[in-house]
A and B are shown apart, each in its own frame.
Chain A
């Protein structure tokens, strides 16, 4: 298992902290993990909530929990304090690691300051919690820093097998050096860490943003080889004129977290060819730990727009209703099978005692077809989701939130570039109130949220919201 560091050179550098410049070898992180694992170990399996950033120490804490045999819920430290409080009350973690103080829980937890400005919280009394399933390793949010407390449950087998598959098709070796361009609380960000630790590579850990000079200084100073991003990161990178950037040690770029437009794929393909590097377009879901498919670089030019072929040890199938369709060009729901398929969702503490409910089979909710060469293409979604900046936004959930909060009939639609909201209201100012609420609640940039008031939402003859007509007439 990658968190045990077997079969890798212990003298290799594992983590380089961009902020402090401190390097940690695999030997060093292993002994640190041992100490922390001992500190948090108990007879019963516990839930550890880790409010992380992208520092080397956050990764050490994550690995320590894995070594201890406890389950770890990895959440972004930048999450809204109210949301933190509600997650703590819903999941009652026995242990919390946090960079910031959490004054609202001081009555129930003992707090101790530990290294790197982290606080270590331990529940004062064990409340006779339901047991945690022995296979449960990691909990991740499906929506990043935003609203929903619904979590994806990943097993030890899930994270190990996905790391192995990714390392295999990206041909990761110990000479790789990725930089943390994505949060580790996000499945894609975490998969970069896991797959590189598996091979004994060195990870440059930074909280700097790719739109700031520090990030690229660190990248070049440490001779980084790998950059990963969601479509939005690649839009920014084009603005920074990637084709002219001096990044002499860059070898691999990976993209996932939503559809990158064909124009951008062409741009990066051409840039990759001229720089002599590889660019991987990939597809996945947090429900599959991270990765489901990828386009081999040598096929990218020919298969622009495709999500590629299944990762090693995975299978993709198309289902029309109950039946699998094996002929090319038939559309249906994409179903993925593999050892990286999650155990199930959790919505509260009790759900952590449940065993694997999916048994290796995931209905992705995406509509797709495959071509004659076995490459898959997404055509739409069964469920109403959009992905903004790599984060999934459930349109029905946004609607429900607005309707509950403002008692006004609401229709949400959109694509991976914009969330569009139509409100039934006579008051024109209402739209900006709603917009502010949505931006604040989901932490979205105002440029991707569009709201309009109408006197009557179009409905179908059966009284349901008429989405096709709404989209046609909204003028958003």
Chain B
């Protein structure tokens, strides 16, 4: 599984959505992505990529695209 697939999986599982919906446009507030799902998502990303996200990273993770950028800065390639 490559990193995009891994990240997509964290989104589909935490937000309970189909993989097709997980695109760069997917952002906080759309579909089931609310504050509760956000924390589940953050926890899932931390486990999947074995990292700890900072508060700034947590509140900046406002879209799928943003998530890739944030993880990219941690050396995770997409």
**Hey, which bits of chain A sit against chain B, CB under 8 A?**
209-213, 215-216, 232, 235-236, 239-241, 244-245, 389, 439, 445-447
Contact = CB atoms under 8 A, between A and B. Distances in A.
B16 A211 contact: no
A394 B16 CA distance: 25
A220 B58 CA distance: 18
B39 A209 contact: no
Contacts of B35: 209-211, 236
Given A209-B29, A241-B55, 14 more contacts: A211-B28, A211-B58, A211-B59, A212-B28, A212-B62, A213-B59, A213-B62, A232-B36, A235-B39, A236-B35, A239-B42, A239-B55, A445-B34, A447-B36
Contacts of A213: 56, 59-60, 62
Contact of B39 (A211, A241, A245, A439): A211
A240 B58 contact: yes
A389 B40 CA distance: 14
B9 interface: no
Nearest to B43: A239
Interface in B5-28: 16, 28
20 contacts: A209-B29, A209-B34, A209-B35, A209-B38, A210-B35, A211-B28, A211-B58, A212-B28, A212-B62, A232-B36, A235-B39, A236-B35, A236-B39, A239-B39, A240-B59, A241-B55, A244-B55, A245-B55, A439-B16, A445-B40
Interface of B: 16, 28-29, 34-40, 42, 54-56, 58-60, 62
Given A209-B34, A245-B55, A389-B36, A446 B28 contact: no
Contacts of B28: 209, 211-212
A153 to B, nearest CB: 29
B13 to A, nearest CB: 9
Given A240-B55, A240-B59, A241-B55, A211 B40 contact: no
A421 to B, nearest CB: 17
A212 B39 CA distance: 11
Contacts of B59: 211-213, 215-216, 240
Q: Top 8 A-B pairs ranked by shortest CB distance?
A: A445-B36, A213-B59, A240-B55, A211-B38, A211-B35, A209-B35, A241-B55, A446-B16
B58 A239 contact: yes
A455 to B, nearest CB: 28
A235 B43 CA distance: 13
B40 A447 contact: yes
B29 to A, nearest CB: 8
Nearest to B14: A447
Nearest to A232: B36
Given A212-B28, A240-B55, A445 B37 contact: yes
A241 B56 CA distance: 10
Nearest to B58: A240
Contacts of A245: 55
Contacts of A446: 16
A207 to B, nearest CB: 9
Contacts of A241: 54-55
Nearest to A388: B36
Contacts of B36: 232, 389, 445, 447
Nearest to A436: B16
Contacts of A439: 16
Most A CB within 10 A of own CB, among B37, B42, B56, B59: B59
A396 B17 CA distance: 29
Contacts of B39: 211, 235-236, 239
B14 to A, nearest CB: 8
- Looking at B34, B35, B36, B40, the one whose CB has the most chain A CB atoms below 10 A away is B36
A18 to B, nearest CB: 15
B30 to A, nearest CB: 13
B12 to A, nearest CB: 12
Contacts of B16: 439, 446
